[in-house]
Amino acid sequence: MTLSIREAVAEQAAKIAAVRGAAAMDLTARFGMGMWSSNTTENGVLFAMKRGRVIIAVRDDAIVGTLTLSTYKPWAIDKSYFTRVKTPVYLTSMAIDPKAQRQGIGRALLADAETRARSWSGQAIRLDAFDADAGAGDFYARCGYVERGRVVFRTAPLIYFERLLIYPPA
């Protein structure tokens, strides 16, 4: 039951979409319909692979978690809330298979994300989380990410988080 973390390849896109879909269905079942209820498609995962790096956590040959890292700023991020750095890296689309949650997989993916971001000369990791019961804000805070602001973007209440990778910031 060893966990390995690595960059995904195109042939894994359908399985990644399935993990993201299972996580969205679980959140919808527990918290009702919301922005978290959207379903990820295989094409959506392939697009993410073109714009960044999709990282997967694998246990017993099954994908149990995923996230995407990119240097492209997501549409919901307002960079004025964040520390000024030359090279931010954005974390998006993080999901853990509901059957594998609370087993350290999310923390392992975040640790790997920090290593990868540093290898790209990234100076900070930025993300947004839903500011709702279905959001992962508490998780990111426990993992050392600092809240930088709360906004409403297209009716979605969000919390901006940041993890600085250099001290002091540039």
Whole-model pTM over 0.85: yes
Residue 168: pLDDT band (50, 70, 90) is low
User: pLDDT digits over 68-107, tens only?
Assistant: 999 999 988 999 999 999 999 999 999 999 999 999 999 9
pLDDT digits (tens, 9 = 90+) for 21-34: 999 998 778 777 77
Confidence of residue 135 (pLDDT cuts 50, 70, 90): confident
**Residue 130 one-letter amino acid:** F
Bridge partner residues of 66 (DSSP): 56, 95
pLDDT at 169: 60
Question: Distance (Å, rounded) from C-alpha 136 to C-alpha 128?
Answer: 9
- Parallel/antiparallel/unpaired status of strands 62-70 and 88-96: antiparallel
The yes-or-no verdict on residue 110 having pLDDT over 80 is yes
Domain 3-164 has CATH 3.40.630.30: yes
- Write the CA distances from 69 to 23, 73, 91, 92, 117, integer angstroms: 19, 10, 5, 6, 8
Are the C-beta atoms of 151 and 78 separated by less than 8 Å? yes
The domain ranges of the chain are 3-164
Does 120 have pLDDT greater than 70?
yes
Structure tokens at 102: 């609370």
Q: DSSP of 88-112, one letter per residue?
A: EEEEEEEEE-GGGTTSSHHHHHHHH
